[in-house]
Amino acid sequence: MTAPPITADYGTRAASWTERSLAAVWHPCTQMKWHPELPMLSIERAEGPWLTDHDGKRYFDAIGSWWVCLLGHRHPAVVQALRDQLDELDHIMLAGLTHAPVIELSERLSELTGNALGHAFYGSDGASAIEIAIKMSAHAWQHLGHRGKEDFVCLAGSYHGETLGALGVTDLAGFRQPYEGLVRPAFVVPNADSRQAQPGEDARAVALRQVKHLEALLQERAGRVAAVVTEPLVQGAGGMIFYDPEYLRQVRALCDRHSVHWIADEIAVGCGRTGSFFACEQSGVWPDLLCLSKGLSGGFLPLSVVLSRDALYRLFLDDNASKAFLHSHSFTGNPLACRAALAVLDVLEKEHVLAANRMRAQRLTSRLRPIAGHPRVRHFRQLGMIWAWDIADAAPGFSQQVFRFALRHELLLRPIGNTVYLMPPYLLEDTEIDALAGSVEAVMREVLA
């Protein structure tokens, strides 16, 4: 079924803002020629899980605005923390200066790892965190006298960002192909997608089978490999690829055996999204470098961080300035962004959000059972506050079709290929969970008719 166009439903104010945006703004990850036929929402305000456009129409943000709004929009505790911070300190450079929010945030994040990762280096967004981590890894090996260790390994279907270094460890052709001549490619090994299970296998068996590809590569090339880069437990942009924690345990063991770093990209899956604050917690092992962003600041301000083992940090301590990690950007460790992140951590802790999320997840999963049972739905899956399912025989343009139908049901969805997913804000009331499930079911009923 083809969704009817909805641009005609725009009121005067929304249409005006949309036209101005199309005339002046180059939107990200967007084929601009599809607009204005493909609806564009002009959002005036937001609160909780709801977005409201310039004509007063509401839309449930079922994807957390690209997975960043953990607590919903404009959570009052974070708003107040930012107001208080504005009265004290807006910004200072972090070279030779420091401030309370960045110190407190670094300490708290380290404590959440059980002090396994003792130092924090700050960036602005997820891709910059990946750039920082791969530079740290290669540079650290130089300090140890292994200048040849400059290659990296990533998993099939991985996504780690769209800057050139991050694209080098990304295995999604749509993002990489136009820039192949500019990118230093990584070695790509098969992933442990639990959907690959053969008869008699569970997800752990898939992980043990698939990790042998990584083992073979490291046996052959470990002398040149600086680090293995993974998205722990869920590979997001690759189509919500779920895999067993056993794979990470094996990665840790292989990296230790072959003197290779492990970089964990928790940009999308950290901060409680998979059920534990760090996804790595579910494997019982820690990486050498861990990247966080997206939900860390609750969607209020750009912020990313690379947490490192102290032993790696100490390799850069020297009387010679050239041995320091000479990476920076002007807004490193911005006080406002760090204060927002601290406020998010406060809410998660004081309101016992991750424990409550287990009940929220059970309720939403139960309400989505009619979808899971549809004959065209494959591999319905859930982990923490992530839901995903694949549609068999999806027609070209399926994701745009779902997007259109969803808007008609006051819902913001953005499928990845033939995979529909939900990554809603955490703080949902039972009535909101039921409304979300009802809207999603209505959209699927129409799309699959």
CA-based angle 111:115:118, to the nearest 5? 105
Spatial contact of 274 and 282, defined as CB atoms under 8 Å apart: yes
240 and 155 within one domain: yes
Q: Rounded CA gap, 217 and 105, in Å?
A: 37
Q: Rounded CA gap, 124 and 331, in Å?
A: 7
- So what's the pLDDT on residue 446? 94
CATH number at residue 64: 3.90.1150.10
Residue 323 reports pLDDT greater than 50: yes
Residue 399 reports pLDDT greater than 60: yes
The answer to whether residue 173 is domain-embedded is yes
Q: Walk across the sheet containing 411-412 and list its strands.
A: 43-47, 50-53, 58-61, 411-412
CB atoms within 10 A of CB 180: 10
Both tokens of 302, joined, read 């750009």
Residue 378 reports pLDDT greater than 70: yes
DSSP for 396-441 reads: TTHHHHHHHHHHHTTEE---BTTEEEE---S---HHHHHHHHHHHH
Look at residues 350, 373, 397 and tell me which one is the last residue of a structural domain: 350
318 and 239 within one domain: yes
What total of structural domains would you count in the chain?
A: 2
Residue 7 reports pLDDT greater than 80: no
CATH number at residue 272: 3.40.640.10
Spatial contact of 132 and 141, defined as CB atoms under 8 Å apart: no
346 and 280 within one domain: yes
Spatial contact of 204 and 246, defined as CB atoms under 8 Å apart: yes
- 48 forms beta bridges with 73
Q: Rounded CA gap, 61 and 49, in Å?
A: 5
Average pLDDT over residues 338-352: 98
- So what's the pLDDT on residue 4? 37
322 and 297 within one domain: yes
Q: Rounded CA gap, 368 and 363, in Å?
A: 9
Residue 203: strand, helix, or coil: helix
pLDDT in tens, 51-61: 999 999 999 99
The answer to whether residue 323 is domain-embedded is yes
- So what's the pLDDT on residue 2? 41
- So what's the pLDDT on residue 14? 85
367 and 333 within one domain: no
201 and 93 within one domain: yes
Spatial contact of 205 and 171, defined as CB atoms under 8 Å apart: no
204 and 117 within one domain: yes
Give the pLDDT band of residue 39 (cuts 50, 70, 90): confident
Short-list 307, 329, 265, CA closest to 108: 307
The whole-chain average pLDDT of the chain stands at 95
- So what's the pLDDT on residue 305? 98
The answer to whether residue 2 is domain-embedded is no
Average pLDDT over residues 275-289: 98
Cα 245 from chain centroid (whole Å): 18
190's CB contacts (< 8 A; 6+ apart) are 155, 156, 210, 213
130 and 185 within one domain: yes
Per-residue burial over 283-307, b = 16 or more CB atoms within 10 Å of its CB, e = otherwise? bebbbbbbbbbbbbbbbbbbbbbbb
Q: Rounded CA gap, 170 and 164, in Å?
A: 10
276 and 333 within one domain: yes
Average pLDDT over residues 310-315: 98
The answer to whether residue 1 is domain-embedded is no
Q: Rounded CA gap, 44 and 247, in Å?
A: 44
Residue 197 reports pLDDT greater than 80: yes
28 and 139 within one domain: no
Q: Rounded CA gap, 121 and 99, in Å?
A: 14
Residue 11 reports pLDDT greater than 90: no
Look at residues 327, 350, 373 and tell me which one is the last residue of a structural domain: 350
Residue 322: strand, helix, or coil: helix
Pairing mode of beta strands 411-412, 58-61: parallel
Spatial contact of 425 and 64, defined as CB atoms under 8 Å apart: yes
DSSP for 329-394 reads: -TTTT-HHHHHHHHHHHHHHHHTTHHHHHHHHHHHHHHHTHHHHTSTTEEEEEEETTEEEEEETTP
- So what's the pLDDT on residue 10? 53
The answer to whether residue 128 is domain-embedded is yes
82 and 230 within one domain: yes
Both tokens of 429, joined, read 């009331």
346 and 357 within one domain: no
Look at residues 350, 381, 398 and tell me which one is the last residue of a structural domain: 350
The answer to whether residue 276 is domain-embedded is yes
Domain limits for position 237: 78-350
User: What is the Cβ-side half-sphere exposure of residue 123, based on CA atoms within 13 angstroms?
Assistant: 21
